[in-house]
Amino acid sequence: MKKNIRKILYLAVNFLSWIYINFYYLKNFNKPKVLIYTDSRGFEISKISNRKTPFNSYLDYFVKNYRSQVFICPEKHTTFFDFFDKINRKDLSSFKHIISHIGVVDFSPRPISDINSIFKLKKRKITNVFGVDFYEKLLASPHYETEYLGEKTCSIIQENNIPRIAQELNKLENLIWISCNPVIIEWKGNYTRERPKNINIVNEKSKSILSNLSSKVNVINFTKFSKDDVMEYTCDNIHLSPKGMSYLEQEIKNIL
């Protein structure tokens, strides 16, 4: 019963969010257009009323003040491949900026069986943008020796595939990419489970992406956060706290 109520509430909140976003999209018809595509870091995670919505998120400012097309964690595993699939079906010439808050899902170590399932689900998107050879290369990626939930771990995007991802990002005009941040292993915040011991791979891969991006790409770089920064600006090492939302909002404003 509780599960059904939560599902109904979630659907109602997301319908309200859709109305809210589209109301401002129409209201702001004469304002600059921006496209914003995020993984789960784009919304405030502690309340179901905020799940996959701009409410209490840095997104709210841009919804209200720009003609924003917003895609908030549209997939269960929202990856670079989903982002590229979406923007490749858009006329990007009309957008003042493209904001990409993507990467943590791609970089995170997870059980190999999970990785294989994700690759199967996203095969069409991967091959459409990167080709069959790249898809085969992803499938053949080596695993890490570190185990999690009884399996060896792997990432969707391995180090040797990062230059190819960066190559596609470099093609985009007026791109803003938001990096991941370090993880404080001994601090969980409001996350109740254990994370993989090699979770800081997400930050190392973010640094690798940054080193491959051209100077024309605007970057909001969280990779050098201190321990105190992580504990202040995130609620669980990954997702943003209220202070983190405000901080990111201001960083994007500085670019826009």
Dump pLDDT digits (tens) for 5-29: 778 888 899 999 999 999 999 999 9
* Number of neighbours of residue 180 by Cβ within 10 angstroms: 29
Mean pLDDT, the chain, as a whole number?
A: 95
Number of helices (H) and strands (E) in the chain: give both, helices first: 11, 8
| β partners of residue 176 | 99, 218
User: Which two structure tokens, joined as six digits, stand for 178?
Assistant: 């938001």
- Residue 217: alpha-carbon gap to chain centroid: 17
pLDDT at residue 41, rounded to an integer: 97
- The answer regarding whether domain 2-255 maps to CATH 3.40.50.1110 reads yes
User: Which two structure tokens, joined as six digits, stand for 23?
Assistant: 């109301």
Q: Locate all alpha helices (DSSP H) within 32-158, ordered by sequence.
A: 59-65, 80-87, 104-107, 112-121, 123-130, 132-139
State the average pLDDT over residues 147-161.
Answer: 94
pLDDT at residue 1, rounded to an integer: 65
Contacting residues for 244 by C-beta, under 8 A, at least 6 apart: 232, 233, 234, 235
User: Which two structure tokens, joined as six digits, stand for 33?
Assistant: 């257009």
Model confidence over 201-251: pLDDT tens digits? Answer: 999 999 999 999 999 999 999 999 999 999 999 999 999 999 999 999 999
1 three-state secondary structure:
coil
Model confidence over 238-249: pLDDT tens digits? Answer: 999 999 999 999
Per the CB < 8 A criterion, the answer to whether 134 and 126 are in contact is yes
pLDDT at residue 240, rounded to an integer: 97
**120, exposed or middle or buried, with CB in 10 Å at 0-12, 13-18, 19+?**
exposed
Confidence class of residue 166 from pLDDT cuts 50, 70 and 90?
very high
Confidence class of residue 48 from pLDDT cuts 50, 70 and 90?
confident
